[in-house]
Structure 1
Amino acid sequence: MPITPANGGSAETAETAASSGSAEPIMLELVDEDGTTIGTAEKLSAHLAPGKLHRAFSVFLFDDEGRLLLQRRALGKYHSPGVWSNTCCGHPYPGEPPFVAAARRTAEELGTAPALLREAGTVRYNHPDPASGLVEQEYNHLFAGLVRATPRPDPEEIGEIAFVTPDELAKLRDEGPFSAWFMTVLDAARPTVRELTGTAAGW
C-alpha cells in the first residue's frame, strides 16, 4: 500500500479560498428529501449545526488492479482536515450537473481526469464532525470509475494519496481517522463498484 505525499506549490483552489473568506463565497444548492432544488446557501452556513440539506457528490476511482484511490485531506482544510476519505468529494455549483461537478473537481484535486466515470446512485445522510462541530446534511450523488494516469494531487487539498485493496483499507481504518461519511458513501456505491472492478477485487 504505497502512500504518496502531495507536493508542489500550486495555488490555493477557488473552493478553499472562498471558504477562508479571501474570495467570493461558494454557494451550495439546497434540496428537499427527494433531491429537488429548493434554494441556495453559503457553503459554511450550510454546514453549521444542525446543517441544511444540500447537494453533494462522492467519487470512487480504481486502478486496473481494482485498488481504490484514497486521499488524505490536507491539514489546512476547514472541515475534516487530516483524515482519510474517498477519492474525491465536494459540492456542485448551483445549477451544475453532479456528473460535471464530480469530473471537474476530481481533475482539480488530483491533477488528472477519470479514464471512466459512471453514476452509482444517491444516498442521503446526516453526519456531524466531532472535531469541528460542523454537520454534513447531504443528498449525495455517487460516482465510480477508473484512473489510469498518475495522480498529481494539489497539496492545498490533499496531504497524501494511497491505492488500497479491501484488506489494506481495513488495516488503514484501524490505524487512523477517516471522514465521518466515508463508510456511508462506500456502502451505498458498492453495487456499482463491484460491477466496475469485478468480484475478484473483493469490494
Structure 2
Amino acid sequence: MPITPANGLSADTAAVPAPDDSAEPIMLELVDEDGRTIGTAEKLSAHIAPGRLHRAFSVFLFDDEGRLLLQRRALEKYHSPGVWSNTCCGHPYPGEPPFVAAARRTGEELGIAPALMREAGTVRYNHPDPDSGLVEQEYNHLFVGIVRAEPRPAPEEIAETAFVTPDELDTLRARYPFSAWFMTVLDAARPAVREVTGDAAGW
C-alpha cells in the first residue's frame, strides 16, 4: 500500500471495516507493581475503570534520517479511536515474552519487520481516556528500533501513518489528539531513542 503525502507528512489512509464480534476474547497478563505475573483478565474488563494493572508494550521505530514512525489509530477501535500514537503498542498474550509480542504486533499492524529493535526499559502509568471512560493501568515494556521497509498498515488497526521529526511531532500534537499514554512512553524511552538515532536527530 503506497505512502502518500498528507498535511506535509508521509501518510497512508484506508477504510476501516466493522469489528468482528465473533472473535474469541483476548486475554491479558495481570501483574503486580514489580511486573510479576499474578493472573489474567479479559482485555476489555482490564480497561474498565478503575482498571487492572496489566503487561503492555510500546514500540518506537525510526527511519535512517531519525524520523519517528507514528500511527493514527483506526476510527472504529473501541479504545482511543482516531488518535495519533507511537509506532505500535499492545499487550503480550499470557506467557508471551514482551519482545516477541512487540515484533509480532509490528508485523501484524504495519506489515514490516524492524531492521533493529532493542529493549528500552519499562514504565508504569495510570491514564484514563476521557472520551471512552476506559483506563490504561499498564506496566509497559519499551522497545526502540530502526525500520527500512515501507509500512503497509492493516486498515482495521491503523487509519494513517507518518514519519516525523521532533519539530513535526510538535506541530502534529498542536493540531490533533494523541493517545493519553504517548508522551509518558516517549519520555521514558528517550535515552534509548537518542542512542539509536544520534543526538543530531533532536530527540
Amino acid at match of 1:64: D
Identity within the alignment, %? 82
Amino acid at match of 2:70: L
Amino acid at match of 2:190: R
- Superposed CA offset, 1:172-191 (max 9, x none): 00001000000000000000
Alignment correspondent of 1:155: 155
Alignment correspondent of 1:2: 9
Distance in 1 separating the partners of 2:85 and 2:39? 28
| 1:30 to 2:30 alignment | yes
Distance in 1 separating the partners of 2:59 and 2:165? 17
- Superposed CA offset, 1:39-88 (max 9, x none): 00000000000000000000000000000000000101000000000000
Amino acid at match of 2:118: R
Distance in 2 separating the partners of 1:169 and 1:99? 26
| Unaligned runs of at least 5 residues, structure 1 | none
List 4+ stretches of structure 1 deviating above 3 A. 6-9
Contact kept? 1:55, 1:91, Cα under 8 Å: yes
| 1:136 to 2:136 alignment | yes
Distance in 2 separating the partners of 1:142 and 1:2? 25
Amino acid at match of 2:85: S
If the length of structure 1 is used for normalisation, what is the TM-score?
0.93
> What CA RMSD, in Å, does the superposition of the two structures yield over aligned residues?
1.4
Distance in 2 separating the partners of 1:5 and 1:151? 9
Cα offset for 1:8?
A: 7.5
3-state SS of 2:75 partner? coil
| Unaligned runs of at least 5 residues, structure 2 | 1-7
Contact kept? 1:6, 1:159, Cα under 8 Å: yes
Alignment correspondent of 2:106: 106
Alignment correspondent of 2:124: 124
Contact kept? 2:56, 2:91, Cα under 8 Å: yes
Alignment correspondent of 1:43: 43
Distance in 2 separating the partners of 1:3 and 1:158? 14
Closer, same or farther: CA 139–32 of 1 in aligned 2, 3 Å: same
Distance in 2 separating the partners of 1:7 and 1:130? 26
